[in-house]
Homo-oligomer: A and B are copies of this chain.
Amino acid sequence: MPRGANLPAIAAFNDTVVLDAIRRSGDGMSRVELVGATGLSAQTVSNVSRRLLGQGLIREAGKQIDGPGKPRTILQLEPRGSYAVGVHLDPTVITCVLLDLEGSVIEHVRRHSPVSGDPAETIAVAVDAIGDVLKRSGVDRSRVSGVGVAAPGPIDVGTGVVVRPPLVPGWNDLHLGDELTAATGLPSLLAKDVTAAAVGERWRDPAGASGNFAFVYYGTGVGVGMVLAGAVYTGASQNAGDVGHAVVDPGPDGALCACGRRGCYGESVRPYRLVMQGIRAGVLRAPGGAPVPDGVDLDLDVDTVDELFTALTRAADDGDAAAAAILDRSIRNSALYLSNLAALLDIDRVVYGGPSWARVERRYLEQLPERLREIDMSILTHPVTLASSSVGDDVAAVGAACLVLDATFSPR
CB nearest neighbor in B for A247: B247
- The contact sample of 20 A-B pairs, CB cut-off 8 A, is A154-B381, A164-B378, A166-B377, A166-B378, A212-B235, A212-B236, A228-B233, A229-B231, A236-B348, A238-B346, A241-B346, A242-B379, A244-B379, A246-B340, A246-B344, A247-B247, A250-B251, A250-B262, A258-B377, A259-B377
Contact A343 to B237, CB < 8 A, known contacts A250-B250, A250-B263 = no
Contact A379 to B234, CB < 8 A, known contacts A242-B343, A245-B340 = no
Partner of A345, one of B163, B235, B258: B235
Q: By the criterion CB–CB under 8 Å, are A346 and B236 in contact?
A: yes
User: Chain A 375-388, CB within 8 Å of chain B: the 1/0 string?
Assistant: 00111111000000
- A239→B381 CA distance, assembly (Å): 8
The 9 A-B pairs at the shortest CB distance, nearest first, are namely: A235-B346, A250-B250, A242-B343, A240-B346, A247-B247, A154-B381, A239-B346, A236-B348, A246-B340
- A242→B382 CA distance, assembly (Å): 13
CB nearest neighbor in B for A213: B236
Please state the number of chain copies in the assembly. 2
At the interface, yes or no: A37 with Cβ under 8 Å from chain B? yes
Nearest-Cβ distance from residue A319 to partner chain B, whole angstroms: 31
- Main secondary structure on chain A at its contact with chain B? loop
State the A residues within 8 Å of B (CB): 1, 37, 39, 154, 156, 163-164, 166, 211-212, 224, 228-229, 231, 233-248, 250-251, 258-259, 262-263, 336, 339-341, 343-348, 377-382
Q: By the criterion CB–CB under 8 Å, are A344 and B250 in contact?
A: no
Most buried by B among A211, A233, A379: A379
Nearest-Cβ distance from residue A89 to partner chain B, whole angstroms: 19
* A1: chain B residues within 8 A (beta carbon): 37
Partner of A379, one of B236, B245, B247, B343: B245
CB nearest neighbor in B for A343: B242
Q: By the criterion CB–CB under 8 Å, are B381 and A346 in contact?
A: no
Contact A211 to B236, CB < 8 A, known contacts A39-B39, A263-B250, A344-B243 = yes
- A348→B340 CA distance, assembly (Å): 21
* A262: chain B residues within 8 A (beta carbon): 250
CB nearest neighbor in B for A233: B228
* A243: chain B residues within 8 A (beta carbon): 340, 343-344
- A243→B340 CA distance, assembly (Å): 7
CB nearest neighbor in B for A192: B346
* A233: chain B residues within 8 A (beta carbon): 228-229, 345
Most buried by B among A154, A233, A235: A235
- A379→B192 CA distance, assembly (Å): 13
Q: By the criterion CB–CB under 8 Å, are B241 and A344 in contact?
A: yes
A-B contact sample (9 more), CB < 8 A, given A224-B344, A228-B233, A245-B377: A164-B378, A166-B377, A211-B236, A233-B345, A235-B346, A236-B346, A236-B348, A239-B381, A246-B246
* A348: chain B residues within 8 A (beta carbon): 236-237
* A377: chain B residues within 8 A (beta carbon): 166, 244-245, 258-259
* A156: chain B residues within 8 A (beta carbon): 381
Q: By the criterion CB–CB under 8 Å, are B345 and A381 in contact?
A: no
* A345: chain B residues within 8 A (beta carbon): 233, 235, 240
* A163: chain B residues within 8 A (beta carbon): 381
* A263: chain B residues within 8 A (beta carbon): 250
* A244: chain B residues within 8 A (beta carbon): 343, 377, 379
Q: By the criterion CB–CB under 8 Å, are B247 and A344 in contact?
A: no
Partner of A237, one of B164, B246, B339, B382: B382
* A235: chain B residues within 8 A (beta carbon): 212, 345-347
Partner of A346, one of B228, B234, B379: B234
Contact A343 to B236, CB < 8 A, known contacts A259-B377, A378-B164 = no
Q: By the criterion CB–CB under 8 Å, are B344 and A379 in contact?
A: no
